[in-house]
Structure 1
Amino acid sequence: MHKLRIYLSPVLFPVSLIYALVVYIRNRLYDYHVIKSTEFKIPLISVGNITVGGTGKTPHIEYLIEVLQKDFKIATLSRGYKRTSKGFILATSRSTANDIGDEPRQIKQKFPDVIVAVDSNRVNGINKLLEIYPDIDVVLLDDAYQHRKVKATLSILLIDYSNPICKDHILPFGNLREQSSEMCRANMIIITKSPAGLKPIDRRILLNDLKPYPYQDVFFTTFDYGDLNPVFSTEKKNISLRDVRNYSIVLVTGIANPKPLFNYLYENVSKNIDLLQYEDHYPFSANDIKTIEKKFLELNSINKVIITTEKDAMRLQIFSNIANNLKENWFYLPVKVVFQNDHKEHFNHQINEYVRKNKTHGFLYPKQSKIYS
């Protein structure tokens, strides 16, 4: 893709300039209140990014739920990307990825007591949530950094460590939805997917390039992988990655960037991995299932397994006629967020205190920034 963009740069770069101008004008119209943002009298925590592609929004939303669910009534609102339904929908335990999207289904399956809703019109979605559940304490807005029709009271910007926005370009020449300078709207910045053994000097180099604003707190997180969970069987138990060490693996991914997952499995589990890579949020078909089955059967090993991501599992579970030999050997690998350098407690305290103090109103703009690295 990078080589293709370089080849097409004479065409893409002028288009990027036009797109950048349009985005810049739009943002200034919101900044100067020519276009109004709708405000609500409850905490609205936005989790989003500037880069197209995966920065780990869903795991960080799940982390926020874990932090807040003990003391507060939480709702999450997403547009429900690539769902086949329209309008406002409240998720239930029976909702499929087609109904609400793969990521909202993942959240509802993992946190059944949390209110999960989808609506491409975020203003309407929040109004509906407050109408149905007037006692909601906080709404978590998924992928809402560019959705300026709603005034988020706390904005968390995620930046992929391996793809910092300061070294990228705006669409379509690069991967940025808007100029990197628009990170000024964030109250907190989380550098995601950071290497576990990240050296202090490397943190300082990145932060020097990124140049966070004085009022922004910056944290570094990485991902930790859990046990393998069965995609289809509710009776089959989870198994440890240690149990499939040196197995032959078919890795099925429909995510933005499967490289970190592939590298983790290659370095820690098995060198024998066949990757079937699909586009992000890919709608699997019956023919795709046949392709996966064929690849699995072709593995010349008694010890073999199919591994996919948790998000992909949400879309695969709509298939009911999967052969038993596939069902019994098909697992998804969940991820969870880990804060580096023991700054978890400080982040948790900030989030809890913010919601506690602003359950009925309020906007947070930290007066003094800190770098939690």
Structure 2
Amino acid sequence: MKNKRNNSTSEGQHHRTVTLLQPVAWLYEGITALRTILYDQGVFSSFTPAQFTVSVGNLTVGGTGKTPMVEYLIRYFKDKQKIATLSRGYGRSTRGFVLADPDATARTIGDEPLQYFQKFGEEVKVTVCENRAEGSRQISTLFPHIGLLLLDDAYQHRGIRPHVNILLNDYNRPFYRDHPFPAGYLREGRSGASRADAVVVTKCPARLAAEAKEEIRQRISRYTRPGTPVFFASVRYEQPVGYSSGAKHPVEVVALAGIARAEPFLDYLRDNFKVLKEVIYPDHHDYGPSDLESLLKYVKKGTFVVTTEKDKVKLYPLATAAGVADQFLYLPIRMDFGTDQEPFAQWLDEAIQTPMLEAARGIK
């Protein structure tokens, strides 16, 4: 009964907060809607890249699975086409266009781009630039053979006009139940979904009933263009991998993450290992030696620190310098489309692969 009262009180406080902030949210939504209209009518100019361009983004602030989605697209297309990724490079200390190389760090290009580079190496050109239009021009000049450009988190970056927009929607935080900032977590109004060429509902339960999928499709279709497909994907964690070695089979672990929504990561660890301690930092946390020092007091013989892949790119240099890299593991993560795998692959071929090849041949 106490939990029910606490939940009821929490929900009531949340409702009052939303109501209080709603006028400001309406103003914010109006400004973003006006901006969209000005871009759509050509008052503000948009640049169409020379490369066939696919944008992966969301309406919601925080993690919706953009990085695993970009990696899924890289794996799908890398044997068919030369690829470049272009990100803002959140949290980096550099400015302008930067091409990832073996000397790149999270400080020079950002943690997610560094993750792409460390995972795919020279198979993909990994770049960052806060001005996506300028970044795509630089890629075209440096690498004219690039046929596919993947924009990471550029859904609201209207200065560049992608050929295809993939909108991600977190199953646990659907945009159709949310409100624009500051009353909620939307970067723009729900109507922004009308720019999507496809919607991927991410972080779904592994076995989501067909009836539930259909209900979600109907809710999403209120805001998308007619015929816009909706696909469903879940998160698949793989066996922990050592920072300095291969797969490990730990029993007791310390969970460490600095990501937007750590719940799925923590739930997986709780279900599969004995979690001695959970250390959670804000998204894109800039780890330092003091973080490592405070963390290691929880680590005993036979215990491993398990992190996300995103955190690994920042922690690896620190753990290596301290001589404790062998006590750190990370969880590889993949997007799993389950029964939607074939329909999604068919859509990728029809919406991206075929027009991309036609563009390369000069067919209009």
- What TM-score comes out, normalization by structure 1 length? 0.88
The match for 1:260 is 264
> Which SS does the other structure have where 2:233 is aligned?
strand
Identical amino acids, percent of aligned pairs? 35
Q: Does structure 2 retain, via aligned residues, the 8 Å contact 1:41–1:362?
A: no
Pairs within 5 Å for 1:46-125: 46-113=55-122, 114-125=124-135
The match for 2:275 is 272
Q: Deviations over 1:14-49 (max 9, x none)?
A: 221221111111011111111111123331100100
| Match for residue 210 of structure 2 among 168, 175, 200 | 200
The match for 1:42 is 51
| Match for residue 179 of structure 2 among 156, 166, 169 | 169
Compare 155-164 and 312-321 and name the one that shifted more: 312-321
Shift in Å, 1:289 = 0.9
Aligned in 2, Cα 1:275/1:3: closer, same or farther, shift over 3 Å? farther
The match for 1:339 is 337
Q: Does structure 2 retain, via aligned residues, the 8 Å contact 1:41–1:360?
A: no
The match for 1:139 is 149
Amino acid at match of 1:151: R
> Which SS does the other structure have where 2:261 is aligned?
coil
Aligned in 2, Cα 1:86/1:210: closer, same or farther, shift over 3 Å? same
Q: Deviations over 1:101-121 (max 9, x none)?
A: 000000011111210110001
Shift in Å, 1:348 = 4.3
Amino acid at match of 1:331: L
Q: Does structure 1 retain, via aligned residues, the 8 Å contact 2:100–2:127?
A: yes
Query: What is the distance in 1 between the residues matched to 2:48 and 2:139?
Result: 15
Query: What is the distance in 2 between the residues matched to 1:26 and 1:294?
Result: 51
Aligned in 2, Cα 1:15/1:284: closer, same or farther, shift over 3 Å? same
The match for 2:296 is 293
Query: What is the distance in 1 between the residues matched to 2:357 and 2:255?
Result: 43
Q: Does structure 1 retain, via aligned residues, the 8 Å contact 2:22–2:183?
A: yes
Amino acid at match of 2:142: I
Query: What is the distance in 1 between the residues matched to 2:129 and 2:363?
Result: 24
Amino acid at match of 1:218: V
Tell me if 1:311 matches 2:320: no
Query: What is the distance in 2 between the residues matched to 1:74 and 1:361?
Result: 18
Please, which runs of 5 or more residues in structure 1 have no aligned partner?
A: 364-373
The match for 1:178 is 188
Query: What is the distance in 1 between the residues matched to 2:289 and 2:100?
Result: 25
Query: What is the distance in 2 between the residues matched to 1:343 and 1:228?
Result: 25
The match for 2:4 is none
Query: What is the distance in 1 between the residues matched to 2:107 and 2:231?
Result: 34
Q: Does structure 1 retain, via aligned residues, the 8 Å contact 2:233–2:340?
A: no
Please, which runs of 5 or more residues in structure 2 have no aligned partner?
A: 1-9
Number of matched residues? Answer: 349
The match for 2:6 is none
Aligned in 2, Cα 1:348/1:28: closer, same or farther, shift over 3 Å? closer
Aligned in 2, Cα 1:272/1:317: closer, same or farther, shift over 3 Å? closer
- What TM-score comes out, normalization by structure 2 length? 0.90
Q: Deviations over 1:144-163 (max 9, x none)?
A: 10000001111110111111
Query: What is the distance in 2 between the residues matched to 1:293 and 1:3?
Result: 40
Compare 334-343 and 170-179 and name the one that shifted more: 334-343
Aligned in 2, Cα 1:259/1:150: closer, same or farther, shift over 3 Å? same
* Structure with greater helix percent: 2
Amino acid at match of 1:28: I
Aligned in 2, Cα 1:348/1:185: closer, same or farther, shift over 3 Å? closer
The match for 2:355 is 354
The match for 1:250 is 254
Shift in Å, 1:309 = 0.2
Aligned in 2, Cα 1:10/1:18: closer, same or farther, shift over 3 Å? same
> Which SS does the other structure have where 2:298 is aligned?
helix
Query: What is the distance in 2 between the residues matched to 1:17 and 1:256?
Result: 25
Query: What is the distance in 2 between the residues matched to 1:248 and 1:272?
Result: 6
Shift in Å, 1:226 = 1.7
- What RMSD, in angstroms, separates the aligned Cα atoms of the two structures? 2.1
Aligned in 2, Cα 1:74/1:100: closer, same or farther, shift over 3 Å? same
Shift in Å, 1:286 = 1.5
Task: Point out which structure has higher relative CO (alpha carbons under 8 A, 6+ apart).
Answer: 1
Compare 5-14 and 35-44 and name the one that shifted more: 5-14
Q: Does structure 2 retain, via aligned residues, the 8 Å contact 1:253–1:312?
A: yes
Q: Does structure 2 retain, via aligned residues, the 8 Å contact 1:187–1:215?
A: no
Shift in Å, 1:215 = 3.1
Amino acid at match of 1:153: H
The match for 1:18 is 27
Q: Does structure 1 retain, via aligned residues, the 8 Å contact 2:307–2:330?
A: yes
Query: What is the distance in 1 between the residues matched to 2:337 and 2:178?
Result: 25
Query: What is the distance in 1 between the residues matched to 2:76 and 2:303?
Result: 37
